Amino acid sequence: MEFPGTMKINEKNHLEIGGCDCVELAKTFGTPLFVMDETLIRQNCRSYINSLEKHYQNSEVIYASKAFSSLALYKIIEEEGLGLDVVSGGEIFMALEAGFPPEKIYFHGNNKSYDELKLALESGITKIIVDNFLELDMLNELCREMHKNVNILLRITPGIEAHTHHYIRTGQIDSKFGFPLENGQGFLAVEKVLKMKRFRFAGLHCHIGSQIFDKEPFEHTVSTMMDFIRQIKDRYNTDVKVLNLGGGFGIKYIDTDKPRHVEDYIEAITKKVNFYSKKYNLVPPKIMLEPGRAIVGDACITLYTIGAIKDIPGIRKYVSVDGGMTDNIRPALYQAKYHAMIANNCKAEKKELVSIAGKCCESGDMLIWDIELPKVSPGDYLAVFSTGAYHYSMSSNYNKIPRPAVVLVSEGQAEIIIKRETYKDLVKNDVIPKRLKNKSTYLAL
Ligand SMILES: Cc1ncc(COP(=O)(O)O)c(C=O)c1O
Ligand SMILES: N[C@@H](CCCC[NH3+])C(=O)O
């Protein structure tokens, strides 16, 4: 498989990323270790911004921070000129801690609480992507109480079925996200927004799913949304100023994944928007995109140390690593597949078919079923590719395994951006009620 970004094999026959030798990284920072390539993250940001600017006049790219969030990454995203999509009070808090300008933050989510909405408004976040009627009512009440005005983008379910894993499709009518067009709720929501004094109807949002390779579902989405925009203009004489088409652009995990070049998606999308704006005689809306996976996904590897190797002749050879579903839940959740290599011996001949097992007490904790690797021994380092999106951000402490560290590499420099958790971190929120501290009470029971 072709290496993404700055990854290459160096003269020591080791994997290198951002000018740093992976064996040195593993020895210095320990494993499992997420290693993020700053150069590639910045390149990915620029491809979206530049392609969209090249093909369309009025546009904005925001980063879907659920893919991976850290204070340092938010700094990079801001420096590269992207806005931010946040989906919870926690993500709002982090973005503000990183000094991200609130006016460039968009607040998403299908079940925002009153407190989260209040936090957003108090923090100066004025762009809310509203998902449902309850949220509209809560926001209206809050705006009145706080004497604030807010810009509303309505999340619409366009009724498009993208070809991707069932769990990460979001555009079909049977979805927990958004106001469906099919049953008229989209119109009802627009009417409600237009009536409310403190609301400014800023535009429409949709997101049809994630890890999508084809451009056709995006084109269909544009046709559907532009038709809705035409109907809004006809019914309410209102121009829809923003059309946010979400994220969902696929990346390569294994050789058979064939994502398109960013520009292909963007050219196809913008062409359709221009076509329908002309056809329906509409003011072309501002186009927004919110990629997550495509910004950080391929810009990261996870380094593991190989431990127990169990050969069951004629059945399977299990190669266990020191991480697993706690740092990568995707194989268990979506049957996701990965490419990997031995980071300390990249060019060795591939000799055997093995399966990579995690260390959790779950049979389903398998990182890779059936991969050809050179003969491996305990202590070798395994590098798993494309682990930047929805890995650390979906990590857990199952089996009381501390979360790994994340390092950012660039031009031969490696810096910790998230520290490795310690055993102490694992108990920091635990409380022993006083009565249980008293041994005699315990014995009396
Ligand atoms: C509303 C919304 N926007 C953007 C994204 C980012 O998606 P992706 O990481 O596939 O680009 C998601 C996640 O699927 C999402 O739910
Ligand atoms: N977590 C999913 C993507 C979900 C995107 C968020 N709406 C994945 O790893 O592929």
Q: Which homologous superfamily is 108-291 in?
A: Alanine racemase (3.20.20.10)
CB of 223 closer than 8 Å to CB of 276: yes
- For ligand 1, atom 10, name the residue with the nearest CA: 248
Say how many Å lie between the CA of residue 117 and the centre of ligand 1: 20
Q: What are the sequence ranges of the domains in the chain?
A: 8-37+298-427, 108-291
- For ligand 2, atom 5, name the residue with the nearest CA: 210
Residue 169 pairs in a beta bridge with: 209
Say how many Å lie between the CA of residue 75 and the centre of ligand 2: 23
Q: What is the DSSP string of 30-46?
A: -SSEEEEEHHHHHHHHH
Is 56 annotated as ligand-binding? no
Q: What is the pLDDT of residues 174-223, one digit of tens each?
A: 889 999 998 999 999 999 999 999 999 999 999 999 999 999 999 999 99
Q: Residue 238 is which amino acid?
A: T
- For ligand 1, atom 3, name the residue with the nearest CA: 246
* Cα distance between residue 170 and residue 50, in whole Å: 27
* Helices 185-195, 133-146: crossing angle, 10 deg rounding: 10
* Cα distance between residue 216 and residue 69, in whole Å: 30
Using CA atoms, how far residue 285 sits from 11, 244, 249, 388, in Å, is 52, 9, 21, 32
Cβ of 294 below 6 Å from ligand 1: yes
Cβ of 70 below 6 Å from ligand 1: no
**Which parts of the chain register pLDDT below 70?**
163-171, 439-445
pLDDT for the residue numbered 444: 54
**pTM for the model:** 0.96
Say how many Å lie between the CA of residue 280 and the centre of ligand 1: 29
Is 402 annotated as ligand-binding? no
Pocket of ligand 2 from Cβ distances under 6 Å: 66, 168, 210-211, 330, 334, 390
Across 108-196, the runs of DSSP E, i.e. the strands, are: 127-130, 150-157, 179-180
CA 325-417-41 angle, 5° bins = 85
Is 334 annotated as ligand-binding? yes
Q: What is the pLDDT of residues 21-59, one digit of tens each?
A: 999 999 999 999 999 999 999 999 999 999 999 999 999
Q: Is the complex ipTM higher than 0.95?
A: yes
* Cα distance between residue 394 and residue 246, in whole Å: 20
Q: Which homologous superfamily is 8-37+298-427 in?
A: Lyase, Ornithine Decarboxylase; Chain A, domain 1 (2.40.37.10)
Pocket test for ligand 2, best of 155, 166, 176, 293 (most atoms within 8 A of CB): 293
